[in-house]
Amino acid sequence: MTYMSTGTSLGDWWFSSGSRIGGMSVRLHFLGTGASIPTKDRNLSSVVVRYDSELVMFDCGEGTQKQMSIAGLSLAKKMKIFISHMHGDHLLGLSGLMQSMALLGREKQLDVYGPRGIMKFVDCVNDAVQFNPTFPLNVHEIRAGRVCDTRLYEIHSAWVDHVVPCLAYSFVEKPKPGKFNVKAARKLHVPEGPLWKALQIGKTVRVRGRMIRPRLVVGPPKPGCKIVYATDTRPCDETVRLASKADILIHDSSFDSSLEEKASLDGHSTAAQAARIAKKAKARKLILTHISARYRNPAVLLRESRKIFPKTAVASDLMTIDL
C-alpha cells in the first residue's frame, strides 16, 4: 500500500503494512474532505475508488468535477456514483458533472445510486436546466443491502445514524483466483493454452482420460480489498458491521472531543468516536474525513484518534492511496 498526499507525511507505518493482495490495481482518490462549507483547502465530500478502468464515486459535493480534472480522472470513463444522503454538501456537484460529461460527448452509461429523493433531485435539476444527457443515465433509489454486484466487486450499503436517512457504503473486491502452478500442470501433462485458462477460472478439465481439478494446479483464492465510506454519521453499530475487517475505513470526523455534544446534535462523529468504530470493526486503517472548516490544522483530530486507533490518517484533498 502506498500513500501520497499534498498534506503532511504520515511516516513509515503506512508503508510497512502494505501486505495485500496483488491483482487489479485499486487507487483511492480523496476529492473533497471538508464538512458543509468548502474552504480554501477542502472541497466538499467526494471519494473515488479507481478500479481497473472504472471509477466508483462516493458522494459528489459541489466542485467535484474540477477536483476530478485536477486529479486526472476522466469524465468519459465507466463510472458509478453512490450518494450517501440528500444534504447539499454531498450531491450538489452531480448536475454540473453530468452536464460536463454531456458537453464532452460521453457515451458510456452512468449509474447514480442514492436514498429516496435522488430520482426527484436528478429529474428536477435536469428538467429545470433542460439537460438531455448524451449517455444512458440510470438513477437507482436504494436501501440497505447489496446494491451492486459486478464480476469483480460488490457494493453494500447500510443505514447509519445522521439527522436524515443516510447510507454508508462498502466496496468489496471479489476474491481473485490463486496462483497457477505451472510445474504441477506440466507434471499432470496439461498442455499449455485453453486448458490452463479453463483451470484458472475454476473449471475441471480432462487430460488423457483423467479429470484434473483446478485445486491440483491453482493455489487458494486471494482475498480482495474492502473499503468502507461512512459519512455523515454519529458512531453506530451499523458502521461497525459494514466495516468489519475493512482494509480502509473512511469515517466522519467532523469535530474534536471538546465538541462531542455538538457532533451528536448535528448527527456527526468526533475523531475519537471514529477511532472507536475502527477499533471495534477491526479495520486495518482509518481515514478521517468531513473535517469541519474550523480546523485549519487537523492535528488535534489526528492526535485524539491515534490514541485509540494508531493507524489513523486525516484525509486531505487530492490525497491518493494505492492498495
Looking at the annotation, which residues are catalytic?
Answer: 89
- Residue 221 gets which letter from DSSP? P
In the complex with Zn ion, the residue whose CB is nearer, 234 or 311, is 234
In the complex with Zn ion, the residue whose CB is nearer, 31 or 323, is 31
Residue 32 CB, nearest distance to Zn ion (Å)? Answer: 10
In the complex with Zn ion, the residue whose CB is nearer, 212 or 301, is 301
Residue 130 CB, nearest distance to Zn ion (Å)? Answer: 29
Is residue 42 part of the contact set for Zn ion (CB under 5 A)?
A: no
Whether residue 91 contacts residue 45, with contact meaning beta carbons closer than 8 Å, is answered with: no
Q: Closest residue to Zn ion, Cβ-based? A: 87
In the complex with Zn ion, the residue whose CB is nearer, 112 or 291, is 291
- Cα–Cα distance measured from residue 321 to residue 323, given in angstroms and rounded to the nearest whole number: 6
Name 305's Cβ contacts closer than 8 Å, sequence gap at least 6: 253, 271, 272, 274, 275, 286, 288, 312
Residue 34 CB, nearest distance to Zn ion (Å)? Answer: 9
User: Three-state DSSP class for 277?
Assistant: helix
Residue 87 CB, nearest distance to Zn ion (Å)? Answer: 4
Whether residue 88 contacts residue 63, with contact meaning beta carbons closer than 8 Å, is answered with: no
Residues 231-260 that bind Zn ion (CB under 5 A): 232
Residue 315 CB, nearest distance to Zn ion (Å)? Answer: 14
Number of residues that bind Zn ion (CB under 5 A): 3
Residues 263-302 that bind Zn ion (CB under 5 A): none
Residues 59-118 that bind Zn ion (CB under 5 A): 87, 89
Residues 203-232 that bind Zn ion (CB under 5 A): 232
Residue window 166-195: x/- pattern of binding to Zn ion, with contact defined by CB under 5 A:
------------------------------
Is residue 304 part of the contact set for Zn ion (CB under 5 A)?
A: no
In the complex with Zn ion, the residue whose CB is nearer, 173 or 252, is 252
Question: What are all long-range contacts of 35-41, with beta carbons under 8 Å and residues at least 24 apart?
Answer: 35/89, 35/254, 35/268, 35/290, 35/291, 35/292, 35/293, 36/89, 36/292, 36/293, 37/89, 37/293, 38/62, 38/63, 39/293, 41/296, 41/316, 41/317
Whether residue 278 contacts residue 312, with contact meaning beta carbons closer than 8 Å, is answered with: yes
Cell of residue 81, nine digits:
456514483
Dihedral, CA atoms, 82, 109, 78, 229, nearest 10 degrees? 0
Binding site for Zn ion (CB under 5 A): 87, 89, 232
